[in-house]
Chains A and B, each alone.
Chain A
Amino acid sequence: AQKVTQAQTEISVVEKEDVTLDCVYETRDTTYYLFWYKQPPSGELVFLIRRNSFDEQNEISGRYSWNFQKSTSSFNFTITASQVVDSAVYFCALSGRQGGSEKLVFGKGTKLTVNP
């Protein structure tokens, strides 16, 4: 069975601090995909990144970076120099085989509050 654990329920930081959101996953698939979604107060889930199990390179996109480590089954997300607009609930998710045609298994989410 697939499982995603986001141990941090809520995190509060002050603007400009760096913050890392943890994600640990379990799967028996050899091919799988990992995702991060952001849910701002408006409610929709916004896609941030998709990473396949064969690509362990870390990725950086502006202030966002992702650290994928198969050895520890983790896919952590770091926001550098956080801003108030980063306040949201962040979900890590996992899917097997073809990411676009397979159901997503989500973690419970981490609520991030960035205070001015």
Chain B
Amino acid sequence: EAGVTQFPSHSVIEKGQTVTLRCDPISGHDNLYWYRRVMGKEIKFLLHFVKESKQDESGMPNNRFLAERTGGTYSTLKVQPAELEDSGVYFCPTAGGYEQYFGPGTRLTVT
């Protein structure tokens, strides 16, 4: 069974640019989450999809972040425009049951 895959693995962009992170879930997993870890801090929840619907987006930091999940399959997280404080590792675990399966994440560096 293929795991969660995220693209790109590492992205370096300049402040003010736009970046789109992609997450391909484990097949059949209806629940898809986005989290991020800013350097030296906790891994923090951003939002939760159940299929294509946003179940909880209380963790989204501001309106520069836009998440979508087309047809309940893959998901994208767009940051526009990126700021320095957006640097960190972005994870998108998926779950069929209670266990959230994490991939290696996308490391975003904003310079």
Chain A residues with CB under 8 Å of chain B are 4, 33, 37, 42-47, 50, 91, 93, 98-101, 103-109
Closest partner residue, chain B, to A39 (CB atom): B102
B100 and A104 within 8 A (CB): yes
Q: How far is the CA of A63 from the CA of B3 in the complex (A)?
A: 26
Among B40, B41, B43, B104, chain A packs the most CB atoms within 10 A around the CB of B43
Q: Does B88 contact A (CB under 8 A)?
A: no
Among B3, B48, B98, B101, chain A packs the most CB atoms within 10 A around the CB of B98
Q: Does B77 contact A (CB under 8 A)?
A: no
By DSSP majority rule, is chain A's interface helix, strand, loop, or mixed? mixed
Which of B41, B50, B56, B59 interacts with A108 by CB under 8 Å? B41
Which of A46, A100, A109 interacts with B98 by CB under 8 Å? A100
Interface size class of B (residues with CB under 8 A): 20 to 34
Q: How far is the CA of A47 from the CA of B48 in the complex (A)?
A: 19
Chain B residues with CB under 8 Å of chain A are 3, 31, 33, 35, 40-45, 48, 50, 55-56, 59, 89, 91, 93, 95-105
Q: How far is the CA of A105 from the CA of B48 in the complex (A)?
A: 13
Give 30 CB contacts A-B under 8 Å.
A37-B102, A43-B104, A44-B3, A44-B103, A44-B104, A44-B105, A45-B93, A47-B100, A47-B101, A47-B102, A50-B99, A98-B98, A99-B98, A99-B99, A100-B31, A100-B96, A100-B97, A100-B99, A100-B100, A101-B31, A101-B50, A103-B48, A104-B45, A105-B42, A105-B45, A106-B35, A106-B42, A106-B43, A108-B42, A109-B42
A47 and B99 within 8 A (CB): yes
CB of A57 to closest CB in B, whole Å: 18
Closest partner residue, chain A, to B45 (CB atom): A103
